[in-house]
Amino acid sequence: MLTDRFIKEFRSHSNNELFSFNSFFQTLASQTPPKVKIVMSNGYDASTGREAILINFYKNPQFRSIDVFARSTVEKFVQFLESKDCENPSYECQLIFMVHCSKAKAEYSFFETVFKNFNTIKIVEYKDSYLENLLLKIKQNDTIVKAIKSSVFDFGAKHIDKDDLKPIMVVFFEAQLNILNGFASMDKIYINLTKINFLLETIEYYGKKQNNDLILGLYFTRLAIHEMTHVLLRRKLNDLNVSSPFLEQKNMEILGNDFLESGYIAEKKIFGAKIDFFRGLEILNFDYLNNFFRDVMENKSTLNFDLKISRCQISESVPIMAVDIDIRKKREYE
Ligand SMILES: [Zn+2]
């Protein structure tokens, strides 16, 4: 097995302080392994997922260009591959996160952060029903459903029903990954509660506590639209490890030169841009946002968001790949 071979490779150089994936990748080169399809229709299979991660790394030119990591950085990942605790929901959540990260068009510091912290992801129970109820409203909002449907359609997913969004569940986790907002599987959206708590602290810092539910609601709406788009696309293409959420060349020409990522495109159809709700809190037009949010909740027939009037700040993050993260410096990861 490929995973066993990788573990053996890592363990056989235990005296070195650095570790390079290169010699393992060289052994793969002669086999040209195909990308692993992850179907998940009969539950998830940890060994398929682990193999998919290693092959994704191998096929990722940005990852391949990294010569070495500190051995201690990769150690947690190897322990994760060796783990027998695969039925643990937190393990499954970490595995899905790693499947996405292994495809990221990112640089060394991103992968270092991921290796060091991915195993801090822990599923938690979120007692507050506010966001779960909000998700029901979002799934029933005709304008939002239409935006999601047309986004996945552009990426090759056909035959989409309104009911396709219904079974999507929300799961909350905590993690020492403060750049991470959330990600998704083929039937769930995973939301970082640590980040939500940070948002609430930020709102309080700016003295806007009376707008907690509004800002949290809008932040969650944005994120749910983004992640449900990924869920729907993966379901329709029947692959969690779907080749790329970015557009194929031919669609790229149709939609123009934008951040060509399905979740981002769906968000843009509602908000006109990807909004960073952590910034600009002191100057937001709360009256306007309140009215807009009420329209979402009441499923008003038209949903018009005017970015300028709202005074919301556009996110400077560049979408990297299927995980929703905030990276402030533009073009840091491409
Ligand atoms: Zn995305």
Beta strands in 149-281 (DSSP E): 169-174, 180-184, 188-192
**Tens-place pLDDT, residues 133-145:** 999 999 999 999 9
* Structural domain harbouring 59: 2-120
> How far does residue 190's CA lie from ligand 1's centre (Å)?
12
Residues 272, 187 within the same domain: yes
**Does one domain contain both 81 and 148?**
no
Beta bridge partners of 172: 124, 191
Backbone φ and ψ of 137, nearest 5° = -65, -45
Q: Mean pLDDT of all residues in the chain?
A: 89
pLDDT tens-digit profile of 217-254?
A: 999 999 999 999 999 999 988 889 886 544 455 555 55
Evaluate whether residue 271 is within a structural domain.
Answer: yes
Question: CA-to-CA distance for 184 and 229, rounded, in angstroms?
Answer: 9
**Same domain, yes or no, for 79 and 157?**
no
Q: Which residue has the tokens 């557009």?
A: 247
Lowest-pLDDT range, 45-59, 72-86, 178-192, 258-272?
A: 258-272
Specify whether 135 is located in the same domain as 254.
yes
CA of 246 to the centre of ligand 1 (A): 9
Residue matched to tokens 């981002």: 264
pLDDT at 332: 32
- The pTM of this model reads 0.91
**Do 130 and 112 share a structural domain?**
no
Residues 293-300: what's their mean pLDDT? 95
Ligand 1 centroid–CA 18 distance in Å is 32
Centroid of ligand 1 to alpha carbon of 229 (angstroms):
8
- Ligand 1: centre distance to CA 131 (Å): 20
Structure tokens at 1: 């097995």
Q: Do 194 and 83 share a structural domain?
A: no
Report the distance separating Cα 76 and Cα 80, nearest Å. Answer: 6
Q: Tell me the two tokens of residue 208.
A: 């806007």
Final residue of a structural domain among 104, 120, 136: 120
- Is the domain of 226 the same as that of 87? no
Q: Can you give the pLDDT at residue 247?
A: 46
Query: What is the CA(267)–ligand 1 centre distance, in A?
Result: 10
Q: Point out the domain boundary residue: 120, 146, 177.
A: 120
| CB 314 within 8 Å of CB 276 | yes
Domain presence at residue 332:
no
Q: Is 22 helix (H, G, I), strand (E, B) or coil?
A: helix
Claim to verify: residue 132 and residue 99 sit in the same structural domain = no
* Residues near ligand 1 ion, CB 5 Å cutoff: 263
Q: Residue 320 and residue 274: Cα distance in Å, rounded?
A: 13
Looking at the 3D structure of the chain, how many domains does it have?
A: 2
Q: Ligand 1: distance of its center to the CA of 241 in Å?
A: 13
CB 208 within 8 A of CB 227: no
242 Cα to the center of ligand 1, angstroms: 13
Statement: residue 333 has pLDDT above 60: no
- 159 domain residue, yes or no: yes
User: Is the pLDDT score of 150 beyond 60?
Assistant: yes
185, 240 contact by CB (below 8 A):
yes
Expressed in angstroms and rounded, the spacing between residue 231 Cα and the centre of ligand 1 is 10
For residue 241, how far is the Cα from the chain centroid? Answer: 13
